[in-house]
Amino acid sequence: MAGTTDSSTDESISRPRKSSWKYIGPGIVVAATGVGAGDLVATLIAGSNFGYTLLWAAVIGCVVKISLAEAAGRWHLSTGRTLFDGWASLGRWTTWFFVVYVVVWGFVYGAAAMSSSGLPLQALFPGVMGLKAWAMLTGVVGLVFVWFNKYDVFEKVMTALVGVMFVVTVYLAIRVTPNLGDAFAGLLPVLPDEKDSILNTLGLIGGVGGTITLAAYGYWVNAKGWTNAGWMKVMRFDNRVAYVTTGIFVVAMLFVGAELLHSSGVAIASGDKGLIQLGDILEEEYGNATAKLFLIGFFATSFTSLIGVWHGVSLMFADFVERYRKDRVGAGERAVSGEEVASGAREKSVPFRAYLLWLTFPPMILLFQGQPFRLVIIYGVLGAAFMPFLALTLVWLLNSDRTPREWRNGLLSNAMLVIAGLLFLVLCVKQIADQPWAEFF
């Protein structure tokens, strides 16, 4: 087991651990996975359009994610049950939503993640292979890596890649010489003076690092070997480190957008190709070495998201299959426990590896044929609905007798989760309304 427990008695296993840097791990993994290339582009564009005005929104976004990940981790540790087991206790509708979501989302996301990881490699090694070949190679490398390694090796590699991301983003933020006076002023909650400014601000708050990986955090906590409430302080410290790290990435890229793009009036495209454009701009301003370093950081950002999803969401899918199996054989009343995840057996299971294959090979079709229009709309709707689903079901679970009284939500936790749920619900409604439904039918 890739755990950190070091005692053979139940008493010592369940005693409260003191938070310590030596335990940090799942938080680094969730931070790296949650912040992808698309998040960095969104932050760059916010800095490009509004300077430092929305710095406060990016910071609030990190605080919201701290609350969500903490709630997911608290459920796993306080109950000894997995999050999907908790969802299943709320009714069959949660199972149906999850199944449709992971099947459709995984199919489209797999292509997007491979393409995002292939772009910087194509730019770093021009003329070697085309983008599709690089994309498929990164997908297969991610598959092989997760297939043959358990959580402990996975965590070490993710930590190393986060180190690369950290060095690159902080270096760029220092290189563009941020105006610290304007940056501090950007911590005041002010809305840009433009149409839809409230929705754009909410989008920045909700977008950075806000994916299914927040739900996977509890599974990584268990995979680390933390399976009971004795690890609660450690988990909370780990979670805070995760989103301080996320905050540094976000603030650094907003500095780059504000200084390098906003001040010169340069616009970049949305999506991953915007980062390739930024690489070209950095080369013009600071030389080839800085541009290459940025592309290495771009690859680290994209590839951590790829292997993080390959591992974390596959764990969740394996958990769903185990819960479904127990229901079929009449053992549904027996909870699916975090101990089962901690044993490492799930990472070698058939459902885990089947979902790994689903994330890797079927999406390659989309690299060649493009994304089918109707599928993209369904993907957008399901993706928009997942975050309010996560926030509001956590409110439900952590205020009920499913959770031991000591670990149920307090006023602050409830406030943060309700605010998160409402925020994501507004963004969900907007995204659904913005879909071209007339063309769908």
DSSP 177-237: ---HHHHHHTTS----SSTTHHHHHHHHHHHTT-STHHHHHHHHHHHTT--SGGGHHHHHH
Pick the range with the lowest mean pLDDT from 49-58, 74-83, 168-177.
49-58
State residue 333's pLDDT score: 57
Structural tokens at position 22: 């030596």
Greater model confidence, 6 or 298: 298
State residue 3's pLDDT score: 42
Question: What band does 7 get if pLDDT is binned at 50, 70 and 90?
Answer: very low
Q: Note the pLDDT tens digit of each residue in 166-183.
A: 999 999 999 998 888 988
Question: What band does 35 get if pLDDT is binned at 50, 70 and 90?
Answer: confident
Dihedral sign, Cα of residue 249, residue 253, residue 258, residue 263:
positive
- Asked whether the beta carbons of 338 and 289 are under 8 A apart, the reply is no
Q: What percent of the chain has pLDDT over 90?
A: 52
State residue 302's pLDDT score: 93
Task: Calculate the average pLDDT of the chain.
Answer: 87
Structural tokens at position 17: 């651990």
- Asked whether the beta carbons of 85 and 319 are under 8 A apart, the reply is yes
Pick the range with the lowest mean pLDDT from 117-126, 174-183, 292-301.
174-183
Question: What band does 388 get if pLDDT is binned at 50, 70 and 90?
Answer: very high
Question: What band does 5 get if pLDDT is binned at 50, 70 and 90?
Answer: very low
Taking each helix axis as running N to C, give the angle between helix 232-256 and helix 151-175, from 0 to 180 degrees, rounded to the nearest 10.
30
State residue 9's pLDDT score: 37
Q: What residues does 81 pair with on adjacent strands?
A: 337
Question: What band does 334 get if pLDDT is binned at 50, 70 and 90?
Answer: low
Identify the H or E element spanning 352: helix 350-360
Question: What band does 124 get if pLDDT is binned at 50, 70 and 90?
Answer: very high
**What φ, ψ does residue 339 adopt, rounded to 5°?**
-60, -35
- Asked whether the beta carbons of 2 and 158 are under 8 A apart, the reply is no
State residue 208's pLDDT score: 61
Pick the range with the lowest mean pLDDT from 138-147, 238-247, 353-362.
238-247
Which ranges constitute the DSSP H helices of 22-179? 26-34, 37-50, 55-79, 83-88, 92-124, 131-148, 151-175
Give the whole-angstrom CA distance, residue 427 versus residue 200: 10
Greater model confidence, 416 or 373: 416
Q: How far is CA 412 from CA 19, 416, 421, in A?
A: 21, 6, 14
- State the average pLDDT over residues 380-390: 86
**What φ, ψ does residue 429 adopt, rounded to 5°?**
-60, -40
Pick the range with the lowest mean pLDDT from 134-138, 253-257, 371-375, 414-418.
371-375
Residue 185 confidence (pLDDT) above 60? yes
Residue 13 confidence (pLDDT) above 60? no
Question: What band does 271 get if pLDDT is binned at 50, 70 and 90?
Answer: low
Q: Note the pLDDT tens digit of each residue in 197-243.
A: 776 777 777 766 567 889 999 999 999 999 999 999 999 999 998 88
